[in-house]
Structure 1
Amino acid sequence: MKKLITESLILIFILTACGKSDISSTDTASTTTATETASENVSEADTESDAEPQKPSKDEVLEKRAECLEGMSEEDISRLNSVIKNTNLALEWGYLFSNLFSKLSDPDSLQWNEIDYTGEILIGYAFEEGMDYDESCGMTYEEYGEKYGQKVVEYNEKDGEYFINLMSEIKDTIKNDKLSKDFDTMIEDMRQAKATHDVQYIIDIYHIAHDMDYYLLRYGPEEMAMYVQDMSTVNTYYGALEVYK
């Protein structure tokens, strides 16, 4: 009997989540509760800096939010909120639960297929019992799978291009130049991620989505306190937004 060993499907989840109208409060609680198990580890999403950026206060967030959303319709604001929240929480889930950024640090990882292609994509290999891949074999996962395994494919509807188009649609509804620039950055980061398979571009997207969700469109330290005991992830501020510069 063959056992399925695949790369994680977290990116399919992320790209699908971006297009949903919203993630429920139950999903939010489930996702952010992961901080309780991850708080003792150094986050692979963190980048080194000489000084930690100063988090904006609640009053600063409210003032900046009003400035950034001025001129937008309620419908467009609602969609903006949903897309950014879903993007942040899905990427957050990916690195806390699935070592997403570690997996994408390998430019040849099958995980990149979910960003590069739609349609049937290779996601892993099925192996006979006792034939599971081991790095000590001297072959890459894909080399080993091609020799000893059976290809496993998944139908992928939403790739990196979908993310680019979605963010472009949201950007077109925004009137604030600096907020538009933050969307330009995410769009270009995904283009570069597709072209180079450099995980740093995906990490940069996460930093922007995280700060935009918790420190612009919401005030995470207050709104998320009812869902989690360990607020270390929510309380992290990357200083990634152009709107605060």
Structure 2
Amino acid sequence: MIELFLIGIGTGNPKHLTREATEAIRATDLILIPRKGPGKDDLAGLRRRICQEVITGDTPQLREFDLPKRDTANPDYRAGVDDWHDAIARVWAAEIRAGLPRGAGKVGFLVWGDPSLYDSTLRIAERVTAALPLALQVIPGITSIQALTAGHAIPLNRIGAPVTITTGRRLRDHGWPEGAETVVVMLDAGCAFDVLEPEGIEIWWSAYAGMAEELRLSGPLAEIAPRIAATRARARADHGWIMDIYLMRRRAPA
């Protein structure tokens, strides 16, 4: 039997690793490290660095592989994502077979943040189980939401109030979620908050949350939005990639 561990590693800061995550990494026989293409080598490099800092004794095999590209031209977004996940699952299965030719052992996959929150690793792993006999285990990690609120020293919610977590795509397509007071936006390809009427909205924005490169801006959306857009563009140009997240809250009535 092959055991597949999806290990939440936080936001790329080695200090975010839990003791459970550290023990799981050390127990593996094989660790898969995806490469996302030119300009995104930092992401594979962070995974390698975490392994180097954590692993002692016997060193597991590290297998790097290129991720298939998603067909962004497909007008059916969901179908395009499903096809992409199928392709990634086939690559995973091939890499696991090559790395564990006897068909047994422990495989680790390091997942940004936590595997349960706006991450498709669990869905891809479910596809792999159709091709390989896998026992799946999930190790939770610190999420970018936790890093965002800690960095800005703010609570996630108001007393007794709900929180809506959504994506940049949905915010751009549908606007402010109906009935929401606090909104956390993830996976934003580029400043979707621009579609909102900014009056009365406060925003707390972080890029590379929890990492050494972390950037933070906050304030009234009407005032701070241009600064966020400019800072985001510079950071993307400097690093070749960007991961950002933000929380918005409507001002409480006086």
- Which TM-score bucket, shorter chain as reference? under 0.3
Query: Using CA pairs below 8 Å that are at least 6 residues apart, which structure has the higher relative contact order?
Result: 1
Q: By percentage of residues, which structure has more strand?
A: 2
After TM superposition, the score normalised by the length of structure 1 is: 0.27
After TM superposition, the score normalised by the length of structure 2 is: 0.26
